[in-house]
Amino acid sequence: MITGKQLVSAAIWLPAAAALLCYLWRSYKGRNLVVWASGVVLAACSIGLYLTGPFNYQPGEIAGLSWNTVISTADFALLALILLIGIKRRHILIIMLALFQAALLIYFDAVLGGGELEPGPAFVIDHLSIIMALVINIVGSLICIYGVKYIGEHEDQHSGQTSATSWLSSHSGSRQPRFMFWLVIFLGAMNGLVFADNLYWMYFFWEVTTFCSFQLIGHDLSEEAIANACRALWINSLGGTAFALALVVLVRYGGGDYLSIQYLLIHGAGPGMTMIMLATALLVLAGMTKSAQLPFQSWLLGAMVAPTPVSALLHSSTMVKAGVYLILRLAPVYIGTYLSDIIAIAGGFTFLVTSILAVSQSNAKRVLAYSTIANLGLIIACAGINTPAAISAAIILIIFHAVSKGLLFLCTGFVEHRIGSRNIEDMEGLADRMPLTTIIFTVGIISMFLPPFGMLVGKWAALEAAAHLPLAALFMVMGSAVTALFWIKWLGRMLEGNPGEVQSGLEPMAINYKASLIGLAAGAVLLGILVIPLIRSLVMPAVSQYYSSPGLNTAAQSIVIGNSGLFAVWPWFVLLLIIMVSARLLYDPKKTKSAPVYLCGENSSSTSYTSTGEQSIQPALSSYYFDGFLGEARWTPTVNSLAVLIIMVLLGVTVL
C-alpha cells in the first residue's frame, strides 16, 4: 500500500523530475506525453492524500546530510541567483532586497542557529493543506496539459513578430522545453509550500515560486516582458524579506519551536505575545504581496504579458493562493484582535476598489487580473472576520475561484490565439464564430458570482459573517454589485450576433484544449452541484480542526430551503436544464423569421443603415468603460496611498 509519506515526496519530487524530462525531451510529442502522465499521477497523489487523511511527516537524511542544511544551502543558492539577475538586469531594488534577505538569513543561521532547529515534523498535512493540494494538482495539471499545446502555438505565432532584440530569434532551438520546465517544477514548489509546517522550509518554497514566476513572466524576452518580470521579482522579494524578518523575529523573541506553524497556532495567540503578533503581521504582509493585494497589485497586472497558461496557473489559481493560504493558516493566531479587523477592512477595501477598476479595463486579461485580486481580497476579508462561518466561506471561495478563474484565463488564451487580440471589443459576436468557447465562457462567468454555483455560497457566508462589521459589509455589498457590471458587460459583448447568422456547428479544438477547457467547465458545474457534500467532506473538518463550531449547518430544512443560507442546489440545476430544453423546443429556426435589426427605419441591409450622404454604415457598438470617472490613471495613486496607510495601521496595531 502506498503510504502517505511516499505520496508527499512524490507530490514534491515528481514535478521536478517531470520538468527535467520535459526540458531534455526536444520533441513536442514527448513533452506532451510527460505532462499528461505527470498530470494523472499528481492528481492521483492528491486524491490519495485526501483518502489517507491528515498525518505528520519528518523526512529522513539524504546522502548523509540533514534536510535542513540542504534547504538552507538551496536557499542561499537561490538568493545568489536572484542577485545575479539583479546585477545582469541592473535593477537596484532587486539587488538591495536580495542582499538584505541574504543578511537576514545569515543572521538567522549563524547567530540564532535557526538552520538546525527541528521544531517538529517538517511536513504537517492537515485538511486545509489537503484541499490546497487537491486544487493545485488537479487544476494545475489540467493547466499544464493546456500549456503544452498553447506554448507550441504561441511560439509559431510569435516567432514572426517578436522584436529583433529578443533572445529567441538569436538563440537556436525553441524555448518550449524551458517554459514547460519552469511550469511543471512550479507545481512541485507549490505542493512543498502547502505541506510545509516548518516556516523556514515554507520560506524556501516561497522563494522558489517567486523565481519560477520571474522566469515564466520573462518568457517572451521582449523589453516589456523583462521589465514586468523584474517588477514581479522585486515586489515578491519585498514579500520574501518580510517573511525572513518574521522568521528572525520569531526565533529571536519566541524561541526555536515557534518556527512550526502548529506550535505557533497553539501558543501564538493571547495578549502578551506582542512580538509574535508583529511576526504574524509581517507574515500577513508577505502573504499580501504574494497575492498582489492593493498597494502591490502592479506586478500581477504587469504579469499579464506572460503567455496565458502562466497567468492561469500562477497568477490566478495557485501561486497567488499561497499568500491567501498563509493568511488563512495564521487566522487562529490573530483571532479576536484588532489585527483581524484591519485585515478584514484591507481585504474588503481591495475587493471594492479592484472591482471598480476592473470596470474601466478593455483588455480581457487585465479585467481577469483585477477580478483575481478582488476575489483574493474577499478571501482575506473573510480570513480577517475570523468566525468559523467566514473561514469556511474563505475555503469555499478558494476552491471555486481557482477552478472558475483558471477556466476563464484558459478560454481567453484560446480565443486570443484564434482572433489574435485580447481586447473585449474584438470579441464581439464570438457566439457565432466560436459557439463552444462562448458556452464555456458563459459557464465560467456565471459560475464566478451567480446563484447555483459555489462562489455564491462563499459570498453568502462572507456576507453573513460580515454582518457584524458594517464597514466590511458595505465594501462587500458594493463590490459584489460592481462585479456583476464588468462580467456581464464582457459576456454581453461576446453574445452580440447579427440576426440570421446560422451557427455552422462547433469550432475545432485540439485534444489538449478540449481536455482542459471542458474538464474545468465540467468541474465548475460538478462542484456547484455537489457543493454540500463538498462542504461536509472537506471544508467542515478543516474548520473544526482549529475552531469551535464547524461554521455552516448543512442540514436542509426543506427540499428547497437549506438552513441559514445553504440551499439544496440540485433544484437550481434542474431549473437551468428545463430552461435550456424549453428554449430549444420553442425556438425552431425554420418557423421563426429572422428580423432585421431596428435602425430607425433606414435599414439598407438587415444590419447596416443608410446615413448622411446616402452612404450605408454599419452601427458600431462598444461597452461603457467610464474612463472619465473610473480611469486607472486617476484612481491608482490615491488608492495606493490609502492602502499603504492601511498596511501601516496593520503593522502598527500589533505593536501598540
- Contact between 456 and other proteins (CB under 8 A)? yes
- Contact between 632 and other proteins (CB under 8 A)? no
Q: What single DSSP character describes residue 557? A: S
- Please, what is the minimum distance in Å from the beta carbon of residue 625 to other proteins? 6
d(CA 34, CA 47): 20
Of 358, 379, 359, which Cα lies nearest the Cα of 369?
Answer: 358
- Contact between 507 and other proteins (CB under 8 A)? no
- Residue from 118, 153, 627, 632 that binds other proteins (CB under 8 A)? 627
What are the Cα distances from residue 353, in Å, to 368, 371, 423, 446?
14, 10, 22, 21
- Residue from 29, 88, 90, 584 that binds other proteins (CB under 8 A)? 584
Which lies closer to other proteins via its Cβ, residue 115 or residue 497?
497
* Lookup: cell for 336: 479576536
Orientation angle between helical segments 338-359 and 632-655, nearest 10 degrees? 170
Question: Would you say 378 and 344 are in contact if contact means Cβ atoms under 8 Å apart?
Answer: no
Rounded to 5°, angle at Cα 384 from 534 and 638:
120
User: Judged by CB under 8 A, which stretch of 99-107, 306-314, 609-617, 640-648 contacts other proteins?
Assistant: 609-617
- Residue from 126, 220, 341, 464 that binds other proteins (CB under 8 A)? 464
The site for other proteins, by CB under 8 A, has a size of 91
Site for other proteins in 191-210 (CB under 8 A): none
How do beta strands 609-610 and 616-617 pair?
antiparallel
Site for other proteins in 530-549 (CB under 8 A): none
- Contact between 482 and other proteins (CB under 8 A)? yes
How many residues are recorded in the chain?
Answer: 656
Site for other proteins in 415-434 (CB under 8 A): 425, 428-429, 431-432
Site for other proteins in 388-417 (CB under 8 A): none
- Residue from 191, 609, 643, 654 that binds other proteins (CB under 8 A)? 609
**CB-based contacts of 491: which residues, under 8 Å, 6+ apart?**
441, 442, 445
- Contact between 594 and other proteins (CB under 8 A)? yes
- Residue from 96, 478, 530, 653 that binds other proteins (CB under 8 A)? 478
Partners of 363 in the beta sheet? Answer: 423
Question: Would you say 35 and 180 are in contact if contact means Cβ atoms under 8 Å apart?
Answer: yes
Q: What single DSSP character describes residue 333? A: T
Which lies closer to other proteins via its Cβ, residue 132 or residue 424?
424
- Contact between 24 and other proteins (CB under 8 A)? no
Neighbour count for residue 327 (Cβ, 10 Å): 27
Which lies closer to other proteins via its Cβ, residue 62 or residue 620?
620
Which lies closer to other proteins via its Cβ, residue 127 or residue 365?
365
Neighbour count for residue 499 (Cβ, 10 Å): 11
Q: What single DSSP character describes residue 56? A: E
User: Judged by CB under 8 A, which stretch of 48-56, 110-118, 273-281, 472-480 contacts other proteins?
Assistant: 472-480
- Please, what is the minimum distance in Å from the beta carbon of residue 502 to other proteins? 9
Of 379, 348, 380, which Cα lies nearest the Cα of 283?
Answer: 380
- Contact between 473 and other proteins (CB under 8 A)? yes
- Please, what is the minimum distance in Å from the beta carbon of residue 359 to other proteins? 9
